[in-house]
Amino acid sequence: MLEIRIHGRGGQGSVIASKILASAFFKENKYVQAFPAFGVERRGAPVAAFVRIDDQPILLRTNIYNPDHIVVLDPSLLEGIDVTEGLKENGWIILNAAGNGLEVKGVQKFLIARVDASSIALKHGLGTPRAPIVNTAILGAFARATGLIRLESIIEAIREEVPLNKDNNVEATIEAFEQTIIMR
């Protein structure tokens, strides 16, 4: 079973990202499960969403404590939360980050890719300068870095799951796929 944990802030699209990713894997004939974890938090508060993928039905119904990979939609989360907690050795950390100056705990054990999903989202009219919606762009980076899912499957899932600005979201995903930088 493959387990992915998505870290973001309320309003960035973490939950929709998990649904899109699950839908994309489903299109590749996998069994999937996607669900969020948050309480009464408000917009801007840290949230997590989870995705499980397997070749057989998934019966497990718990949060993901030891993910194979993580996706971080907001780089400011690196300052207050140990997003790598439980991450398996050689797991991918997919970061929304503009530059190389980010500090991630224990990076020597992980693979890291980054993309400036915020700038890409804004370029394509997704969100506002104060609150870019980076969920679809970061999924392009996930596809590029991990090689676990075809970009075409993510694009098809976006067209089905995203309620607004489908074309802009697809363009942001493709651009992020092309601009993803593998750091280690």
Which of these, 27, 18, 12, lies nearest to 156 by C-alpha position?
Answer: 27
| End-to-end C-alpha distance for the chain, whole angstroms | 24
Span 12-36, average pLDDT: 95
Residue 5: strand pairing partners: 50, 70
Amino acid at 27: K
Look up the CATH architecture of domain 2-182.
3-Layer(aba) Sandwich (3.40)
Percent pLDDT > 70 in the chain is 93
- pTM of the model as a whole: 0.93
> Cβ(5)–Cβ(67) under 8 Å?
yes
Instruction: Look at strands 31-37 and 46-54 and give their pairing.
Output: antiparallel
Query: Which pLDDT score is estimated for 46?
Result: 86
pLDDT digits 0-9 by tens, 77-118: 988 888 999 999 999 999 999 876 556 655 678 999 999 999
Long-range contacts of 102-106 (CB under 8 A, 24+ apart): 102/75, 102/78, 103/78, 104/78
- Percent share of the chain, pLDDT over 90: 75
